[in-house]
Structure 1
Amino acid sequence: MPILALYRLATIALTPLARPLLAIRARQGKEDPARLNERLGFASLPRPAGRLVWLHGASLGESLSLLPLIDRFIQRGVEVLVTSGTVTSARLLAARLPAGAFHQFLPLDAPRFVERFLDHWRPDLALFAESELWPNIVASIHKRRAPLVLVNARISTASAERWRRAPGVGASLFGKIDLCLAQDPENAARFLGLGAPRARVAGNLKFDVPPPPIEAAQLAGFKGAIGARPVFAAVSTHPGEEAFILDAHQEMARQMPALLTVIAPRHPERGAEIAGLARSRGLNAVQRSAGAQPQRDAQIYVADTVGELGLIFRSAEVVFMGRSLAPGGGHNPIEAAKLGCAILHGPSVEDFADVYAELNAAKGAARVSDAPGLARAALYLLSQPARTRKMGRAGAEAVERLGGASQEIMTAIEPYLAQLAAARQ
C-alpha cells in the first residue's frame, strides 16, 4: 500500500486520541485551552461572504512573514483567513492583523478535522508559507480544486534529500502544489526536483515585513526607566545561551558598571529560570512579566513577554541574535536591522545564512565565536556610539535593498485572483 495511504489510515485510527492529546498540550502551555475545538476543525467565527484567501504560516516567523501579503489582499477587497499552529503566533497575530483578516488555529491533519475545516471556510485560494505541507490537508485542498500556492518557499538540502528517498511520496505531495514561489534559485530547483510542477523565484517575504509596532507612550516610559544607561540586548535566546550572555555581561560590567543587559528568551515561559540563573551569580535580575521596569538598580532585565521585541529593538544600541552561539541555525535578524540595531551573532546561522551574509557584507552585523568575543564586540560598540549608529544604518539599508517579494508574489498570483473575481461575478 502507498505510504500516503498508510499515513491517511493511521491518522484516521488516531483520531479518537486527538482530544486527550490536545488537553495534555494545553496543560503544558502549547495549546490555547479556550480554542482547542479549532484544532479539531470547528470554526469559532462565521465565514465572511465573498472571496476568501487562506494564508497559513506554521509558527511565529512564518506567520509574520505573511503580513505584507495580508495587507495587499485586503487592499484588493479580499477577506483573509490566517492560520498557524502555535500559541505564540496566535497572540502576536491578534495584535498585528489588520481589519479584514482573522485568525484560526490549523486543524490537526486527520481527514475528519480537515474536511470539517474546509466545509466551513471554503477557501478560494490557499497560500502556505515556506514548506509547511500536511498530506491530508494538501490532498483535501486539491480534491476541492482550490489552487495551492507555496510562498516564501524554502526547503533545506537535508529535507529535500529525505523526500527523494521516497520519490513516489514526494511526487504525489509536491505535485499537488499549483505554484511554488521560492526565496532563491536553489530552493526553486529543489522543489522542481521533488515534483512541483512550476516554481519561480520571488524573493524573501521577511524583508517586506514592517517593524513591530509600539505605542509611543510605552516606549517613552521604558526609555525613561533606563535613563542614560548603555543597553545591550540578547533576543530569541535558547537554553545554554543565557550562560554565555551572563558571562559577557559580567565581563563588560567591569568596564561599564552602569550596563543594563536585556534578555528576551525565544520561549517566554523560561523567564523565571533565566532570572534565577542571573541571581545565582549575584546579579540583580527583574522580569517584565512581573511588571518590573528596568530601573537603575536592575542589571539583568528579562523580557519574558510576547510581542514586545519592537520595544527592545528601539531601546538597545547593540543586539545579539540568539540560537547562534550554540548549534541551532540562528533567528531572523531583519526586524532588528530595520530598526537600526547593530547586530551581533554566533557562528550557527545556517537557517538564515543568506540574510546574515548580506548584513555581514554590508557591515551591518558581525560574527562572534564565544562569550569573550561577544563581550569584546559589544563593549567596543557600546563605547563607540558613532560606529554603532553607522553599523545600524548599514544594516537597515541592506534589508531595504532586498525587499520587494510581496509585489513579486502578487504579480505571480494575479491570474488566480482574476479567475476568482470572474467566477464571483
Structure 2
Amino acid sequence: MRNVAFDIFYTLVATFLYVAALPLLFVLSFKKKYCQSIPARFFGSKNPPFPEHDIWFHVCSLGEAKAIAPVVERLNAHKIAISVITHTGFEAASKYAAEVRYLPYELWLWIWMKRPKTVVVLEAEFWYLLFRLAHIRGARVIALNARISERSFPKYYRMRWFYRILLRQCDRILCQSSEDMARFIALGGRNVEVVGNIKLAQKIEATKHYPKPDGLLIVAASTHEGEEEGILRGFLAYREQNPSAKLLVVPRHPERFAKVRELIAHVAPTVGFSCWSESQSISEVITLIDAMGELNNFYAISDIAIVGGAFVPIGGHNPLEPATFGCKIITGEEIFLQRELFKYVSHVQFTSLQGVAEALKHAESLPPSQINGNVDLDRVLDNLTEK
C-alpha cells in the first residue's frame, strides 16, 4: 500500500514538473541537438511502444549504447529492444538488430510501457517509474554495469530512503567494482554482485584507415567547453621543442564545431589550420575533426591522446579506446565517472591544463598505454537469460 501511495505522489510530482517545463521543452525542440529526442520523449512524436520482445536494454547516450555491443551480439537468438535518451545514443543503438526507441518521460511510461519480460538498465539510469512499472508488470529488472561514483555517493546516501524504494524493484544489480557493490548495498540493494565493466569486452577497432603524417601526431579527443584553449596553448608551447608535432582537435559535441573553429583561429593565428570536413587530410599543424564517428580512426594513427572531459568536471571519457591503439594517454584529474576504467589502463598521465606542455614532453619517454583487465561476460549473459 505504501508503494502505491508513493507511486501516486511521484506521478503527481512528475506531472507538475512536466507542465512547468513545457515552454522550455517547446523552445528546445527546435534546436538541432534536441529536434528528435524532445518531441519523441516528451510529446510522443514518432515513438510508438515496443513490439513484443525478450530483453529490453535502457541506455543513456553514445557511450552506453556502444558498451552493450558484446552483450547484444551474444543474444542474437533473442528479440532485443533498446531505449535511449540522446540522439547520439539513438544513432549508435540503431546499428544493432533491435527495435530502438527514445525513452518517454516517466509520466508517459504508465501508458507507453506494455508487459516487458526482462528490463536491463545500464550504469546509473535510475528512473523510478521505469523500474517500478517494469517490476509490477512482471518483468525481471536488472541493473547492468551499475556504478555510483565516490563523488556522487554522498548525494545518493542523503536520498537513501528514495533509492531503497527504487532498488527494491530491482532483481539483480551487476556492478563494475567491489566499491560500487558496497555503495549499492548501503542504499538497500539486493542480489548485488561484481561482474566487472562490460566496456572491457567492447570490440574497439578502426572503421577506416588513414595515412599517418610525418612527425608526432597528437589527438585532443572528446574535448568540452573550457578545455580546448588550454590544450591548444600547451600544444603550441610543446611544439617549440618539437616543431614536427601535429594536433587533431575532436570536440565531443558536434554543435560546438563552429565555436572551436573560431577558438583555434584566435589562439593559434600564425600556424597552419584546416577542417577535416573541407580538406580530408592532416597536412596542417592543427586539424579540427568536425565529423562524427571518426575518433577511433584517428586514435589508430596517433602517438599521444589527450582525453578530454576530465580537465573540467565532466567525469572523464573512455580510456580503453586510445589504449587499444597504444596511444600514450594524457588526461585531467576529473575522471570520477571513468575511475573504474582507468584502473585497467597503464601509463596514464593525469595533469591540469597548465601542465599539458610538460606532460607532452614527458610522454616522449613513456611506453604506450596498455589494457589489463577482463569482465565475466558469461556471468552477465547467465543473469540476463535466466528464466
Q: TM-score, normalised by structure 1?
A: 0.81
Q: Deviations over 1:245-275 (max 9, x none)?
A: 1112211222333322011111121111111
Q: Distance in 1 between matches of 2:239 and 2:118?
A: 54
2:29 aligned counterpart, secondary structure:
helix
1:280 aligned counterpart, secondary structure:
helix
Residue 423 of structure 1 is matched in structure 2 by: none
Alignment of 1:53-92 (within 5 A): 53-74=55-76, 77-92=77-92
AA matched with 2:349: A
- Structure 1 residue ranges without an equivalent (≥5): 420-425
Q: Distance in 2 between matches of 1:184 and 1:412?
A: 17
Residue 115 of structure 1 is matched in structure 2 by: 110
Native 8 Å contact 1:270 1:304 kept in 2 = no
Aligned pair partner of 2:350 in 351, 367, 384: 367
AA matched with 2:377: S
AA matched with 2:378: Q
Q: TM-score, normalised by structure 2?
A: 0.89
Matched, 1:333 2:319: yes
Change (3 A) 1:143 1:210: same
| Identical aligned residues as a percent | 25
Native 8 Å contact 1:278 1:284 kept in 2 = no
Change (3 A) 1:136 1:357: closer
Q: Distance in 2 between matches of 1:159 and 1:3?
A: 24
Residue 262 of structure 2 is matched in structure 1 by: 276
Native 8 Å contact 2:254 2:291 kept in 1 = yes
Tell me by how many angstroms 1:347 deviates. 2.4
Q: Deviations over 1:48-88 (max 9, x none)?
A: 55x421001112222221111111111xx101111110112
Q: Distance in 1 between matches of 2:217 and 2:150?
A: 38
Native 8 Å contact 1:22 1:31 kept in 2 = no
Aligned pair partner of 1:125 in 118, 128, 132: 118
AA matched with 1:291: E
2:11 aligned counterpart, secondary structure:
helix
1:404 aligned counterpart, secondary structure:
coil
Q: Distance in 1 between matches of 2:259 and 2:146?
A: 36
Aligned pair partner of 2:161 in 168, 186, 202: 168
Tell me by how many angstroms 1:286 deviates. 2.5
Matched, 1:408 2:379: yes
Tell me by how many angstroms 1:42 deviates. 6.2
Q: Distance in 2 between matches of 1:126 and 1:367?
A: 37
Residue 235 of structure 2 is matched in structure 1 by: 249
Tell me by how many angstroms 1:149 deviates. 0.1
Q: Distance in 1 between matches of 2:179 and 2:324?
A: 26
Aligned pair partner of 1:287 in 257, 275, 284: 275
AA matched with 1:376: E
Aligned pair partner of 1:27 in 18, 26, 30: 30
Tell me by how many angstroms 1:370 deviates. 3.8
Alignment of 1:20-419 (within 5 A): 21-33=24-36, 36-37=39-40, 39-41=42-44, 44=47, 47=50, 51-74=53-76, 77-94=77-94, 97-98=95-96, 100-110=97-107, 113-119=108-114, 122-215=115-208, 219-220=209-210, 223=211, 227-281=213-267, 282=269, 283-288=271-276, 290-296=277-283, 298-359=284-345, 362-363=346-347, 365-371=348-354, 373-379=355-361, 381=363, 390-392=367-369, 395-396=370-371, 398=372, 402-415=373-386, 419=387
Native 8 Å contact 1:230 1:260 kept in 2 = yes
Change (3 A) 1:213 1:315: closer
Native 8 Å contact 1:58 1:84 kept in 2 = yes
Tell me by how many angstroms 1:338 deviates. 1.4
Change (3 A) 1:279 1:48: same
Native 8 Å contact 1:321 1:331 kept in 2 = yes
Tell me by how many angstroms 1:187 deviates. 1.0
2:310 aligned counterpart, secondary structure:
coil
Change (3 A) 1:308 1:116: farther
Q: Distance in 1 between matches of 2:83 and 2:37?
A: 16
The answer to which of 22-31 and 240-249 deviates more is 22-31
Tell me by how many angstroms 1:213 deviates. 4.2
Tell me by how many angstroms 1:115 deviates. 2.9
Q: Distance in 2 between matches of 1:34 and 1:108?
A: 11
Instruction: State the number of aligned residues.
Output: 382
Native 8 Å contact 1:242 1:274 kept in 2 = yes
The answer to which of 13-22 and 242-251 deviates more is 13-22
Q: Distance in 1 between matches of 2:217 and 2:51?
A: 46
Q: Distance in 2 between matches of 1:25 and 1:115?
A: 24
Q: Deviations over 1:3-45 (max 9, x none)?
A: 6543310223455577655442232333243882355456657
